[in-house]
């Protein structure tokens, strides 16, 4: 009950920021709110993610069933058939790759290429509030929607991106656009976020992320689209994300 009330209060704040709140913007809270709408639910979520990448004129597709809970996530490959059963386990900031028959999991990097322009971290690392130090850099409209422009700097070296320019809509605190930069500040990828899924949180429907389009900013024309389907708020037991259990 307490949890439900807290969620309602948080959601309420997200949907209707007051002028006073705008004057003294809590950027960490903005990140937390935007993370929630991109899948960062504390109790857990289950959804499917289809990744379609186009690179050098070749299009590849892959599908994952993703279960996440707080800082952990488990992504199981559903397609293509040769990769079926492979799993990626995100334990906090550690990422494990597992496949049927493999004796031990392999620790891999969230930055490593998953498919096309999508990095491994893109399918599960939604916790920007935990991984990045944020500062408010200004206010810009994105497609006519008033947004805060945040500058995010990685707190650790093992997160997906070193630096992010991040646009979050003021009205519902939805992230609308991101620019991913190298540690030296060079832009190498851009992303846009589309919403349209509905998830019921604490009894109330919430507009949830539906697609993330990542494009190469270096001129290759390569792009990846992550389509998020059938999101369902679901409490997962911690054992689901225990690497020893996943290996078995």
Partner 1 sequence: MNHAWQLALKNLRRNRRRNVATAVSIALGFGGLVLIGGYAVRVERFLRTNTVYLQQTGHLSIYKEGGLERGTAQPATYALSAEEQQVIATVLSARPEVEFFGRHLVGMGLAGNGCTTLPFAALGVEPGVQARALTHPEVLLASPELSRPVKGELIARYPAVEGAVALSAGLAELLGKTRVHDEVPAAAAQAEVVLPDCTTKEGRGALAHDANVQLAGLTWSGSMSAVDTEVVNVFHTPLAETDDGTVVASLQTLQSLYDTDAISYLSVYLRDARDTSRMRGIIEDAIRAAGVPVRAYTFDDERVGPYYAGTMPFLSSLVGFIGLLVAAVVVLSIVNAMTLSILERTRELGMLRALGFNRRQVLGLCLREAALLTALAVGVGLLIALCVAAMVNNGNVRFSPPGVPGTIQFMLTPTPALCAALAAFIVPLSVAAAWLAVRRTTRAGIVSLLSSHSS
Q: How near is the Cβ of 104 to partner 1 at its closest, in Å? A: 4
Q: Which of 43, 86, 179, 207 binds partner 1 (CB under 8 A)?
A: 86
Indicate whether 114 belongs to the interface with partner 1 (CB under 8 A): yes
Going from the C-alpha of 192 to that of each of 6, 94, 189, 217, the distances in angstroms are 29, 26, 10, 13
Indicate whether 113 belongs to the interface with partner 1 (CB under 8 A): yes
Q: How near is the Cβ of 24 to partner 1 at its closest, in Å? A: 41
Nearest to 77 by CA among 94, 89, 69: 89
Indicate whether 81 belongs to the interface with partner 1 (CB under 8 A): no
Q: Which of 1, 103, 144, 203 binds partner 1 (CB under 8 A)?
A: 103
Residue 234: partners with Cβ closer than 8 Å, 6 or more residues away: 43, 44, 45, 46, 67
Q: How near is the Cβ of 83 to partner 1 at its closest, in Å? A: 5
Write the burial class of residue 156 (CB in 10 Å: 0-12 exposed, 13-18 middle, 19+ buried): exposed
Indicate whether 244 belongs to the interface with partner 1 (CB under 8 A): yes
Q: How many residues does the chain have?
A: 248
Residue 241: CA count within 13 A, CB half-sphere: 25
Q: How near is the Cβ of 193 to partner 1 at its closest, in Å? A: 24
Beta strands in 155-222 (DSSP E): 163-169, 175-181, 187-201, 204-216
Q: Which of 14, 31, 41, 62 binds partner 1 (CB under 8 A)?
A: 62
Q: Which of 106, 183, 218, 237 binds partner 1 (CB under 8 A)?
A: 106
* Residue numbers at the binding site for partner 1 (CB under 8 A): 53, 55, 60, 62, 80, 82-83, 86, 88, 97, 99, 101-108, 112-116, 120, 243-244, 247
């Amino acid at each position: 009950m307490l949890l439900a009330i807290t969620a309602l209060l948080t959601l309420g704040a997200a949907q209707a920021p007051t002028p006073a709140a705008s004057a003294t913007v809590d950027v960490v809270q903005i990140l937390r709110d935007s993370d929630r709408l991109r899948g960062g639910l504390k109790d857990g979520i289950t959804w499917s993610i289809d990744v379609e990448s186009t690179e050098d004129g070749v299009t590849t597709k892959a599908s994952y069933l993703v279960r996440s809970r707080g800082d952990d996530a488990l992504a199981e490959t559903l397609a293509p058939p040769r990769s079926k059963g492979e799993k990626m386990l995100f334990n906090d900031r550690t990422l494990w790759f597992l496949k049927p028959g493999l004796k031990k999991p392999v620790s891999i990097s969230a930055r490593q290429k998953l498919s096309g322009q999508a990095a491994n971290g893109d399918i599960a690392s939604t916790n920007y509030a935990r991984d990045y130090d944020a500062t408010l850099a200004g206010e810009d409209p994105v497609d006519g929607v008033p947004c805060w422009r945040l500058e995010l700097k990685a707190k650790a070296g093992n997160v997906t991106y070193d630096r992010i320019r991040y646009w979050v809509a003021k009205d519902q605190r939805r992230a609308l656009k991101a620019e991913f930069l190298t540690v030296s500040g060079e832009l190498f990828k851009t992303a846009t976020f589309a919403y349209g899924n509905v998830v019921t949180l604490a009894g109330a429907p919430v507009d949830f992320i539906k697609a993330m389009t990542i494009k190469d900013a270096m001129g290759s024309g390569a792009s990846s689209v992550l389509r998020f389907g059938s999101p369902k708020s679901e409490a997962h037991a911690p054992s689901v994300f225990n690497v020893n259990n996943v290996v078995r």
